Amino acid sequence: MQPMLANYTASITELKQSPTQLLKDAGNEAIAILNHNVASAYLVPSDLYAKMMDIIDDYYLTRAVEERYNDGEKPIRVDIDDLLS
């Protein structure tokens, strides 16, 4: 069974009829779009999408920092004020 990754659901027919109303009813949450009672897509408000992209960017940045920190090289201590001048 496929997990439902949204608190709100709507059929494709409902999406065709009034996508703006669906977004309004769900607030700032994602909506699972169902086709024959199976989630076929998710409608994500732009604010939520931006937050998701920020989280993904932070995740990849964290991975890059961890890889560089654990690459076997000796870390170099730097004063942030030295970088700004």
Region 56-63: what's the mean pLDDT? 98
Instruction: Say if 76 falls within a structural domain.
Output: no
- Tell me the pairing of strands 8-11 and 38-43: unpaired
- For the residues 20-46, what does the mean pLDDT come to? 95
Cα within 13 Å of Cα(8), Cβ side: 19
Residue 85 within any structural domain of the chain: no
Question: Domain for residue 21, yes or no?
Answer: yes
Single out the residue of 48, 38, 8 nearest to residue 25, CA to CA: 8
For 11, the 3-state DSSP assignment is strand
Domain for residue 37, yes or no?
yes
Residue 3 lies in a domain: no
Give the structural domain span for 23: 8-71
40, 12 Cβ separation under 8 angstroms: yes
* pLDDT beyond 90 at 75: no
Residue-wise pLDDT tens digits, 38-56: 999 999 999 999 999 999 9
Which residues contact residue 35 at a Cβ distance below 8 angstroms, ignoring those fewer than 6 apart? 11, 12
Domain count, the chain: 1
State residue 55's pLDDT score: 98
* Confidence bin at 18 (pLDDT 50/70/90): very high
Is residue 80 assigned to a domain?
no
